[in-house]
Structure 1
Amino acid sequence: MVTASPPQKNIVIIGGSCAAMGAALTWGEKALESHRLIIIDVKSHFNHVFAFPRAAVKSGFERELFVPYHNLFGGDDRKGKVLHARVTKLFEHHVELDREVPEFGTKVEFDYLIYGAGTKIPAPGRLAAETKAAGIDTLKKYQKAIEEAERPVVIGAGAVGIELAAEIKEHYPEKHVTLLHSRSGYLPRFKKSVDVMTYNILKKHGVKQILGDRVILPEQGFPLEVKPIEIHTRGGRVIQSDLAIMCIGMTPNSQLLAELSPKSINSDNKFVKVKPTMQIQDDQYPHIFAAGDVLDHTDVKTGHFAWVQGIAALNNIMTLINGGSQEDLRPYVSYDVALIRLILGNKEAVMQTNMLGPLVTAGSWIAGRNIPDNIYAARAWAWVRTPLDEEHADL
């Protein structure tokens, strides 16, 4: 007589970006029979956002940047599933969805949860598009506008703004490209040499750089359309342009958690507060963890740190599932090291790395070699166990 397996409980991850990917690949190697991993994201594909600044300028590889989740768990639904829906409400032990999904309907119960909802930043750094086709369409709209513009201005010089300005000027050297930034230097979390190298590469490209001045934003912002505009700054400048692209502002997607657990939200910046164990700072919900860009944390908000935070949260969840106590949970060890690789065109880059031990800055001779058009999107396809080739690229 065959004994039926007991029903599995769910570990739910809200958000399907790098925090979820790190957790999912770790789970794939040591999944527990008692639980399965359920990732919920409104997007149909993993977005390889690292290449979006380039893909907003250059065409031909957009489809490679939207990676299908379907084989993330190797087709084993007892290990995990990815649900394409938007979480509309978070409860203590279940979430509600905005649409019916097979097996679950509009309600997914969970034993544990990782809140990895990330942040919002303006396109083309992140896209609101929910499908691959819509994402590609958005990137092509940026390509068309940038191609038609003669005097594009990029407003905001975080990593996306810097990379976008460099890509535009390299691909269209005849255009008058301006990068406008409110700070007096670039990327203050990093070594001064990152700022200096970045400034000099942009200068070599021919990008006009205006630092230490803030744009007076129109109430509705700047639409993605090519037409004569004047951009006014608080310093009294008037910049003549025909296309303004906003690359400023990061907003945490913390509202769902805030409704359930207001005390776990930093009231000043709306990011999620966590304990060293990656549990949210609310003792009423020891089974809810958080990871990724949505955290109020000293880690730089990059895919690398989201990835390792997701793994840390999952490992502690597995400890609890295996009978461990709160005292058995391991604190997430952040080295508080700022790591980055800025890709500034086909052959130029700036990198801050500790690969060889000490934290150092490297320029294009090291960091700018052999960068593929899709900015290493093949790695994301490998994560989901799907070849990046003609047979699969349109999945």
Structure 2
Amino acid sequence: MEGGATGKKVVVVGGGVAGAFLAKSMQFVADVTLIDPKEYFEIPWASLRSMVEPSFSERTLIKHTDYFTNGRVVTSPAINITEKEVLTAEGRSVLYDYLVIATGHVDSTPQSRKDRIAQYEQDNQKIKASNSVLIIGGGPTGVELAGEIAVDYPEKKITVVHKGSRLLEFIGQKASDKTMDWLTSRKVEVLLNQTINLDSVSESEKIYTTSTGENISADCHFICVGKPIGSSWLQESILKDCLNKKGSLMVDENLRVRGKKNIFAIGDITDVPEIKQGFLAQKHASVVVKNLKLLIKGAKESKLSKYKPASAMAIVSLGRKEGVAQLPFMTMIGCIPGIIKSKDLFVGKTRKQLGLDPGTA
């Protein structure tokens, strides 16, 4: 490996959106090591399309070594950190001058790209073989999955059970209402203010009982609820006092972990007060790239870039051609948000940003 010109060691823990973009951007500036439990980066906002079209995942699952060509990849979970090193589950110790933590949310996906593609094929077979599908969770993941199945398999009976009083609670009421209208117009049944106790589920009987006692008959189910923050590995580390009650890492305006001069945190693991979204994780990465370059050059602290939390803005795709968008000044549903996001789910654009051919795997 050709080390960066400076020889400074930068270790990135987590190969999701934030970590992948940072590692790629820093690979010719410093001696970079990327630590991730998986051998690949996955474009997360495209994962639900892969469940209805498994071949789509060929473009959305990218081996770390395809975009990160001038550094080391350690395929193992990180389990602890000290003031100088990151320790991995396989027993490795990786020294750092600068550390960037980007472990996002916990996701138990397979280690190999091949196994992840196989997982999507299994999900697709499950959907194809079912006349009725239950989706548990009415946030962006549940809504997008319902939209994908409703458009590709309009003959299937889809039920969404959501514990909240409205869909897509992370954005405004108007977007929630428009989404509800879109789903019901496609015969998707939405049950609000209800939960399902998954411990009591008997898939063989194919009957699911909600918290209000309602019985739902479904051939299969998908769980689309929030995942825990990926910070449990830090709870006994030198950063244990930098975690807030929710498990997020507290950061300053430069995205450095509070009280630490050479440790940054980016993406979903941070306590930055904004919606946790992929494109914002990329913005975090770009700010920290600037700051790492400045620090490596020996610039003054006062020169460091500051990150300003973003206002609520989101596009949720509804199948292949439509979507719902909450923008700073308006909310819209239909083909325009669909043209922006739903056709390709920004996959070509993201591949291009990683220096890859946008159209082929």
2:32 equivalent to 1:37: yes
CA contact (8 A) 1:152 1:176 kept: yes
Distance 1:199 1:68, change over 3 A: same
2:176 equivalent to 1:177: no
CA contact (8 A) 1:40 1:83 kept: yes
Distance 1:244 1:274, change over 3 A: same
1:145-200: CA deviation from partner (whole Å, max 9, x where unpaired): 11111221100011110011111122222211101111111222322221111111
* 204-213 vs 309-318, which moves further: 309-318
2:324 to 347, 350, 354: 350
Distance 1:8 1:370, change over 3 A: closer
Distance 1:188 1:7, change over 3 A: closer
* TM-score normalised according to structure 2 size: 0.90
Q: Partners in 1 of 2:344 and 2:116 — Cα distance?
A: 15
Aligned positions of 1:190-209 closer than 5 A: 190-209=171-190
Distance 1:158 1:372, change over 3 A: closer
Q: Partners in 2 of 1:296 and 1:7 — Cα distance?
A: 31
Q: Partners in 2 of 1:212 and 1:234 — Cα distance?
A: 9
SS of the aligned residue for 2:190 comes to strand
CA contact (8 A) 1:21 1:307 kept: no
1:130 to 97, 104, 111: 111
Can you give the 5+ residue segments of structure 1 that lack an aligned partner in the other structure? 101-105, 122-126
CA contact (8 A) 2:59 2:359 kept: no
Partner of 2:348: 378
CA contact (8 A) 1:64 1:374 kept: no
Q: Partners in 2 of 1:383 and 1:370 — Cα distance?
A: 17
**Aligned-pair CA distance for 1:374:** 5.0
Partner of 1:307: 282
SS of the aligned residue for 1:140 comes to helix
* TM-score normalised according to structure 1 size: 0.83
**Aligned-pair CA distance for 1:98:** 3.5
CA contact (8 A) 1:25 1:383 kept: no
Q: Partners in 2 of 1:235 and 1:389 — Cα distance?
A: 47
Distance 1:240 1:372, change over 3 A: closer
2:244 equivalent to 1:274: no
SS of the aligned residue for 2:298 comes to coil
2:79 equivalent to 1:88: yes
1:146 to 97, 122, 127: 127
SS of the aligned residue for 1:259 comes to coil
Distance 1:388 1:315, change over 3 A: closer
Q: Partners in 2 of 1:326 and 1:10 — Cα distance?
A: 19
Aligned positions of 1:138-287 closer than 5 A: 138-218=119-199, 227-260=204-237, 261-267=239-245, 269-281=246-258, 283=259, 285-287=260-262
Can you give the 5+ residue segments of structure 2 that lack an aligned partner in the other structure? none
CA contact (8 A) 1:58 1:171 kept: no
Matched residue type, 2:86: V
**Aligned-pair CA distance for 1:44:** 1.3
CA contact (8 A) 2:105 2:228 kept: yes
Q: Partners in 2 of 1:227 and 1:344 — Cα distance?
A: 30
**Aligned-pair CA distance for 1:83:** 3.3
Partner of 2:18: 19
SS of the aligned residue for 1:154 comes to strand
Distance 1:231 1:97, change over 3 A: same
Partner of 2:313: 339
2:318 equivalent to 1:365: no
Moved over 4 A (4+): 370-374
Partner of 1:112: 98
Q: Partners in 1 of 2:116 and 2:198 — Cα distance?
A: 26
1:339-372: CA deviation from partner (whole Å, max 9, x where unpaired): 211111122211123xxxx432222131112767
Partner of 1:103: none
Matched residue type, 2:159: T
Q: Give the share of equivalent positions with the same residue, in percent.
A: 24
Q: Partners in 1 of 2:266 and 2:341 — Cα distance?
A: 29
Q: Partners in 1 of 2:56 and 2:174 — Cα distance?
A: 32
Matched residue type, 1:16: G
Q: Partners in 2 of 1:389 and 1:195 — Cα distance?
A: 33
CA contact (8 A) 1:61 1:374 kept: no
Matched residue type, 2:253: P
CA contact (8 A) 1:258 1:264 kept: no
Matched residue type, 1:385: G
Partner of 1:291: 266
Q: Partners in 2 of 1:368 and 1:130 — Cα distance?
A: 32
CA contact (8 A) 2:323 2:341 kept: no
